[in-house]
Structure 1
């Protein structure tokens, strides 16, 4: 991979290296509101020029629009110089009764519908269809997408299918992406996933994944791609808006108050809430990469600036002493040291 100013970390047990900051392509799939083709292409271009070399998408994002736009924007780039990930679990099929617009958060026509299917056959079809939409000959990482109500099917179908594709060299790594840490812990401890995509459960606002999931990843040699670090926008501004969202819904008043308290403390230490939210993930050596959703070139430039800002160590000490973050410097130092050798992978 071409060198960039961004540090890279390699997913344990693989040859897949990710830049510390990655491009999340849900917004260019018209998440919440429409984005023009030109703005989407400019966002990818700005990311590339800034040194980002990890790009994540999914069929779910805009009913395939995100994959098509991302593939088009990366066309012509040296394929060995970037890492591309997508997801399986939702097949896109013609909608027999379209009513106008998508009802799952994307401003796109509902001429397609999502069919949940975590079987081995569906996984292989989904990968083939994603390759076609992306216009590429390979996908580096494939995640099982949101299998919350489909544990048994994912375990019996998607996991062995993706493990087989990895072992054949068709993909470089596979894993699971979810908005919860409990089931991710099961995947980490009961399967041979290489990496997880952890959404919103290890942030400046909350660190539930630190109790068992992150230590399990360390023991098992599983990479962590941390996403949702701004908790649906609650931490994305210097001060949270009164109508800020959390988990894609109106944020409870108690969480808005907590975010305002975090902002107060950040100001005391000469930094901002979004800069601290981004840096928080970078501090943890168990985190392989942080992926942030970006819609425009301006958003890319803002996040790159945030990633380069220096956040004083005194902030973390203060937050820990106030009980606002869970881990201490000693715990982070333990993660930096050689951990227990990963046990043998579970038989599939």
Structure 2
């Protein structure tokens, strides 16, 4: 995609106070631990904590050598100041100091990137992604993608793409535009491989790199004893039972379920990297210890048999 990324990247939604608030010190410790573990790719967005994620990331990277890390951020939601009333209503534990306004126009894209660069304290980002343009196809294709191409030509970004939680529209972007990369969230995991039949082969054919996100499907695959949420809602009993079956199979090979979940996407030739949302130094170290342990091929063979059943 024109930029280098480490196999595993740091997903910065949690340091934007996703669901629960973190102190600045906790967020900084998580980012420092990621650096110490060799992570050099960081994925953020204005949406994450109404800019808090970008500000915290920028502060953590301020004294790091710019040539040694990769930052991706997103465009499509402008942050408009407002009179603070309570907490943000979109899942982030931050004061509601701004409202989000969808804007995939040329001017909106340029303004969004300018404001992100200010929060990050950078003169360019490596990757800029259209963020969830599900209901904005016409404007995204007609204005946003050309605007990103202009910004790439100006040197403010190196690589352009789209990040979404669905695969059909991502396939449309790959077919009909000149994107370099996509961020595919939750649709190529141990529990949901819906992107495998059409989107991923298309990306291989077109030379579009895939960054896989949401590999724990919001929590159900994050522990060896599956529970909690699937795609941000309580997991249905059938899904919980399927996840528990996968965990039992993993046990036969001395593998933990989250270890397999983190390794699985990288087996596909389209996938260049996996982004992991992490909220503490301990989480970073635990996840990096998991990915350092190899997963035997025999496990993948048995899991593939389960998927066919």
Q: Structure 1 length normalisation: TM-score? A: 0.87
Q: Distance in 1 between matches of 2:278 and 2:174?
A: 28
Q: Does 2:209 align with 1:223?
A: yes
Q: Give the Å deviation of 1:53.
A: 0.5
Q: Give the Å deviation of 1:168.
A: 3.0
Q: Does 2:213 align with 1:196?
A: no
**For residue 244 of structure 2, what is the aligned residue in structure 1?**
260
**For residue 34 of structure 1, what is the aligned residue in structure 2?**
21
Question: Structure 2, unaligned stretches of length 5 or more?
Answer: none
Q: Deviations over 1:69-101 (max 9, x none)?
A: 0000111100010001100000001124x3200
Q: Structure 2 length normalisation: TM-score? A: 0.98
Q: Does 2:36 align with 1:52?
A: no
CA RMSD of aligned residues (A): 1.0
Q: Distance in 1 between matches of 2:100 and 2:307?
A: 42
**For residue 79 of structure 2, what is the aligned residue in structure 1?**
92
Q: Give the Å deviation of 1:324.
A: 5.3
Bigger shift: 28-37 or 167-176? 167-176
Q: Does 2:260 align with 1:276?
A: yes
**For residue 199 of structure 2, what is the aligned residue in structure 1?**
213
Q: Distance in 2 between matches of 1:102 and 1:134?
A: 21
Alignment partner of 1:141: what SS?
Answer: strand
Q: How many residues align?
A: 309
**For residue 64 of structure 2, what is the aligned residue in structure 1?**
77
Q: Deviations over 1:216-252 (max 9, x none)?
A: 10111101000000000110000112xx101111111
**For residue 139 of structure 1, what is the aligned residue in structure 2?**
125
Q: Distance in 2 between matches of 1:322 and 1:200?
A: 19
Q: Give the Å deviation of 1:170.
A: 2.2
Change (3 A) 1:129 1:256: same
Q: Distance in 2 between matches of 1:324 and 1:43?
A: 38
Q: Give the Å deviation of 1:114.
A: 0.4
Alignment partner of 1:232: what SS?
Answer: helix
Q: Give the Å deviation of 1:52.
A: 0.5
Alignment partner of 2:125: what SS?
Answer: coil
**For residue 311 of structure 1, what is the aligned residue in structure 2?**
295
Change (3 A) 1:100 1:324: farther
* Alignment counterpart, residue 167 of structure 2, candidates 181, 184, 199: 181
Alignment partner of 2:307: what SS?
Answer: coil
Q: Distance in 2 between matches of 1:150 and 1:30?
A: 27
Q: Distance in 2 between matches of 1:87 and 1:298?
A: 27
Alignment partner of 2:291: what SS?
Answer: helix
Q: Deviations over 1:118-150 (max 9, x none)?
A: 001000000000000001111110000000011
**For residue 49 of structure 2, what is the aligned residue in structure 1?**
62
Q: Give the Å deviation of 1:290.
A: 0.4
Bigger shift: 140-149 or 261-270? 261-270
Q: Does 2:91 align with 1:102?
A: no
**For residue 9 of structure 2, what is the aligned residue in structure 1?**
22
Q: Distance in 1 between matches of 2:188 and 2:91?
A: 23
Q: Distance in 1 between matches of 2:202 and 2:276?
A: 24
**For residue 218 of structure 2, what is the aligned residue in structure 1?**
232
**For residue 331 of structure 1, what is the aligned residue in structure 2?**
none
